[in-house]
């Protein structure tokens, strides 16, 4: 019976979380084992034990929650792993391949369960057959024999001693086919061989109903010759019979007053009659399936290290102390001030109170910062969670493309915000696909170039300032700049006389629909990808850069903030209103004289060092009136993504500050070019969405300026 | 006569049944076999060529004779049973014990 989600929602949610973790763990272990086999290394027994434990746990949990397909499947898998860990069977590539297919099925079942359905629609027979086929049991014969003997022991002696081998086999088959097994004892009176009520007809009718496995006469029931009296003798016959029908039918067929029918019960069978037959599967599922069934809300939780929670509690404790101290100061102050009509005040005492207050506020401020940091850290997860998933992706891609790839992962303990981790996965996978499909060459091609047949794919992550840097490097073909230029020309992105730096050429790959690949593979090549990758990274307030060398390889360098919730910002003023610009977008700030701004092709530009920088007023973008400004200088904030730069003129630079981003999700308050808001000294400060403005701006390409 | 009883050779004795085997024949047959056994004739053939019916007591008797002769290291052979009798022997699994020969097929 499928679990009722309304009743068990909490347990199902917990199950999903654990199931996800186990799937990840299984993948890691399988990859480990495969690597051991590839490299002819000895297998760490703990790896197999770990696999076994994961499957065993999933099996147990699925049983509790009636996910029966999952239960059946993991039961068989568990048996196989148990065999391996007990050295009854060796691990092999075949087992690994089947296990990976099993893993994919686990993911499929997880997705199904997450959709708030049962797992009953998932087909597991194929994988079960595969697992059973590779399951090797030395003791199978004796196991079967033991099982058979268990069955035979439940029979009357007359059958135990008289079954032929073929009959034994038939009996086992019938039992395993879930037929009812009956032992029929029949006294055939002298007339029962009369042709009109022939015993033979009875036998034939029984054969229609089921299967006669054995008929036996008990020798001890035959009197000795001297004692034989035909007038009182009735021949007793024993019939071992299997049928899916119940015994009432047998009584109807054997019209004999001296008949005994008893059903033999095997393995967890219980007596049942027709009335207690299970209702049909359809009826069960009809009961459970609710057309209005809602999707199970997405599990949005996080595992937190106990020590981080302890830190948090400790800080909160200290803050409570500070709060109490402030309360005391407050009382002291009131006391020192005395009656409001009292004009004389002890200044020394006030001074002392003020000093104490300042000290406590300093402590309070430190505690607030520490608290903030600790809570932020609770949201942090190691990027290894993402990298480890890539191992499987790379493995499968390598197999699909016939390439050999050595995957090196570094910096997996580098942490970043959970929200970012969740969003960065897809862009990174796309970059990996490109690296495998376009970057790394086939073994033969690599050999002809004097490279090792095995290509290298290197992931790294490290903290840099307030952000994190992720690099994906391959030692493959590298980007062909000539090819990129040619393609850009073909697509009309550039003209023949467009002057482009090497970086600008490389960045053309981020244009929508751009692909230099002539082959659209299942993996990549459609040109729908790099622009999406870049946009996703931009949405995370990050940047992406590329370094490449022909025939030596390509490196993608992604910079992301540690968290999306708190950022460093540059505060600026526009029309006496304070705005915040995320510092990650700010290249530099510059103070220019008005006459430094030139008009070229109807666009305002500034020559900044050797670079021509397009200029625009923030006022123009937000359609604000430019207030009269007596300042002889223009304050320009240069913002940029990769090679793209724009200088925005603001009224005033206020300073740098760490701010907490509050998103503006209400459609009524969503403003173009505004990423969110923050609170600074009781004032609401809008946070500028510089990246959108940059992309929106028609004049953002420096290459368009002649 | 229910049956003909004749010595085949030094070792074997033949009883040719002429009627259907019912309780009356059973009683007579039983007495004949007890007689033969007491005279150390323990290798007996019972020919059923002319028998078109046997009741349950008849099968029981045949089995009883078989076990008796077996005990004395003798043997019972059922000769040429008609098809219907063969079916009955088979249906009751008397064939597990009774040695049946069909000389007509030779």
Instruction: Note the helical H segments in A289-417.
Output: 306-337, 347-378, 384-401
Q: Do B96 and A162 touch (CB under 8 A)?
A: yes
Q: Do A216 and B68 touch (CB under 8 A)?
A: no
Q: Are A81 and A52 in contact (CB under 8 A)?
A: yes
- Range A212-219 average pLDDT: 88
CB contacts of B28 in chain A (<8 Å) are none
Query: Mind giving me the DSSP string for A113-168?
Result: HHTT--STTS--HHHHHHHHHH---TTHHHHHHHHHHHHHHTS-HHHHTT--HHHH
The ranges assigned to domains in chain B are: 3-105
Task: Please give, rounded to a whole number of angstroms, the shortest distance from the CA of B95 to a CA of chain A.
Answer: 10
pLDDT at A66: 77
Query: Mind giving me the DSSP string for B11-63?
Result: SEEEEEE-S-B-HHHHHHHHHHHHHHHHTT--EEEEE-TT---B-HHHHHHHH
- Report pLDDT digits (tens) over A627-663: 766 778 889 999 876 667 889 898 889 998 877 777 6
Percent of chain A with pLDDT over 90: 14
Q: What is the mean pLDDT of chain A?
A: 79
A1 vs A616: which has the higher pLDDT:
A616
Q: Are A151 and A240 in contact (CB under 8 A)?
A: no
Q: Do A233 and B57 touch (CB under 8 A)?
A: yes
- Range A424-438 average pLDDT: 87
Q: Do A200 and B57 touch (CB under 8 A)?
A: no
Q: Specify the pTM.
A: 0.50
Closest CA to A298 of A423, A58, A118, A111: A111
- pLDDT band, very low/low/confident/very high, at A163 (cuts 50, 70, 90): confident
Task: Please give, rounded to a whole number of angstroms, the shortest distance from the CA of B106 to a CA of chain A.
Answer: 28
Rounded distance, CA B64 to CA A223, Å? 6
Q: Do B64 and A228 touch (CB under 8 A)?
A: yes
Q: Which residues of B touch A (CB under 8 A)?
A: 22-23, 26-27, 30, 33-34, 37, 53-61, 63-65, 67-68, 84, 87-88, 91-94, 96-97
Give yes or no for residue A282 having a pLDDT over 60.
Answer: no
Strand arrangement, sheet containing A454-464: A404-409, A454-464, A467-474, A553-561, A543-549
Assign A599 to helix, strand or coil. strand
Q: Do B92 and A191 touch (CB under 8 A)?
A: no
pLDDT at A684: 82
Q: Is the domain B3-105 a CATH 3.30.750.24 member?
A: yes
- Report pLDDT digits (tens) over A74-115: 989 988 998 888 888 888 888 999 999 999 999 999 999 988
CB contacts of B56 in chain A (<8 Å) are 188-190, 192-193, 233-235
Q: Do B54 and A193 touch (CB under 8 A)?
A: yes
């Amino acid at each position: 019976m499928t679990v009722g989600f309304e009743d068990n929602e909490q347990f199902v949610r917990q199950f999903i979380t654990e199931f996800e973790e186990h799937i990840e763990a299984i993948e890691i272990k399988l990859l480990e084992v495969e690597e051991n086999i590839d490299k002819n290394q000895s297998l760490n027994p703990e790896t197999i034990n770990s696999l076994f434990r994961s499957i065993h746990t999933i099996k147990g949990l699925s049983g509790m929650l009636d996910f029966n397909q999952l239960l059946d499947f993991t039961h068989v898998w568990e048996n196989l792993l148990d065999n391996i860990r007990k050295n009854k069977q060796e691990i092999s590539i075949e087992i690994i391949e089947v296990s990976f297919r099993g893993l994919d099925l686990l993911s499929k079942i997880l997705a199904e369960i997450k959709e708030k359905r049962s797992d009953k629609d998932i087909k597991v027979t194929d994988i079960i057959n595969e697992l059973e086929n590779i399951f090797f049991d030395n003791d199978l014969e004796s196991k079967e024999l033991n099982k058979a003997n268990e069955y035979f022991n439940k029979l009357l002696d007359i059958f135990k001693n008289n079954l032929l081998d073929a009959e034994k086999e038939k009996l086992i088959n019938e039992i395993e086919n879930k037929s009812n097994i009956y032992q029929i004892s029949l006294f055939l009176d002298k007339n029962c061989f009369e042709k009109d009520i022939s015993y033979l007809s009875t036998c034939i009718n029984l054969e229609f109903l089921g299967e006669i496995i054995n008929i036996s006469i008990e020798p001890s029931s035959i009197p000795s010759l001297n004692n034989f009296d035909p007038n009182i003798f009735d021949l007793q016959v024993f019939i071992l019979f299997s049928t899916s029908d119940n015994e009432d039918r047998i009584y109807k067929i054997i019209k004999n007053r001296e008949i005994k029918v008893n059903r033999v019960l095997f393995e967890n069978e219980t007596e049942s009659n027709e009335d207690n037959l299970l209702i049909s599967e359809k009826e069960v599922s009809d009961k459970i399936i609710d057309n209005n069934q809602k999707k199970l809300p997405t599990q949005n939780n996080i595992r937190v290290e106990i020590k981080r929670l302890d830190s948090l509690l400790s800080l909160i404790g200290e803050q409570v102390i500070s709060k109490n101290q402030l309360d005391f100061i407050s009382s002291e102050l009131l006391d020192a001030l005395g009656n409001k009509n009292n004009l004389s005040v002890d200044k020394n005492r006030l001074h002392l109170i003020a000093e104490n207050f300042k000290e406590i506020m300093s402590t309070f401020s430190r505690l607030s910062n520490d608290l903030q940091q600790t809570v932020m850290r609770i949201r942090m997860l190691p990027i290894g969670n993402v990298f480890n998933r890539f191992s499987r992706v790379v493995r499968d891609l390598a197999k699909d493309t016939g390439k050999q790839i050595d995957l090196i992962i570094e910096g997996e303990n580098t942490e970043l915000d959970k929200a970012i981790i969740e969003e960065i996965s897809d862009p990174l996978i796309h970059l990996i696909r490109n690296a495998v499909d376009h970057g790394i060459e086939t073994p033969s091609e690599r050999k002809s170039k004097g490279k090792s047949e095995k290509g290298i794919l290197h992931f790294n992550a490290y903290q840099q300032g307030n952000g994190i840097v992720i690099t994906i490097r391959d030692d493959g073909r590298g980007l062909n700049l000539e090819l990129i230029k040619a393609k850009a020309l073909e697509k009309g992105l550039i003209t023949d006389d467009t002057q482009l730096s090497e970086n600008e050429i490389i960045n053309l790959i981020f244009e929508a629909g751009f692909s230099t690949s002539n082959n659209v593979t299942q993996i990549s090549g459609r040109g729908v990808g790099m622009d999406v990758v870049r946009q996703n990274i931009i949405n995370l307030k990050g940047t992406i850069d590329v370094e490449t060398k022909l025939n030596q390889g390509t490196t993608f360098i992604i910079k992301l903030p540690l968290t999306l919730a708190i950022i460093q910002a540059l505060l600026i003023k526009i029309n006496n209103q304070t705005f915040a610009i995320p510092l990650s977008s700010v290249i530099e700030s510059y103070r220019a004289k008005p006459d430094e701004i030139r008009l070229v092709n109807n666009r305002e530009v500034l020559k900044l060092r050797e670079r021509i920088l397009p200029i625009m007023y923030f006022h123009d973008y937000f359609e604000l009136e430019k207030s009269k400004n007596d300042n002889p200088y223009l304050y320009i904030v240069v913002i940029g993504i990769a090679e793209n730069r724009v200088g925005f003129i603001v009224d005033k630079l206020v300073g740098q500050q760490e701010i907490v981003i509050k998103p503006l999700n209400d459609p009524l308050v969503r403003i173009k070019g505004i990423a969110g808001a923050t609170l600074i000294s009781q004032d609401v400060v809008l946070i500028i969405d510089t990246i959108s403005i940059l992309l929106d701006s028609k004049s953002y390409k420096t290459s368009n300026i002649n | 006569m229910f049956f003909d009883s004749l010595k085949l050779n030094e070792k074997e004795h033949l009883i040719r049944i002429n009627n259907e085997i019912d309780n009356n024949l059973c009683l007579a047959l039983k007495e004949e076999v007890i007689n033969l056994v007491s005279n150390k004739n323990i290798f007996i053939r019972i020919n059923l060529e002319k028998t078109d019916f046997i009741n349950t007591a008849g099968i029981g008797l045949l089995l009883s004779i078989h076990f008796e002769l077996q005990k004395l290291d003798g043997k019972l052979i059922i000769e040429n049973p008609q098809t219907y009798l063969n079916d009955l022997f088979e249906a009751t699994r008397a064939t597990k014990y009774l040695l049946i020969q069909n000389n007509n097929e030779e």
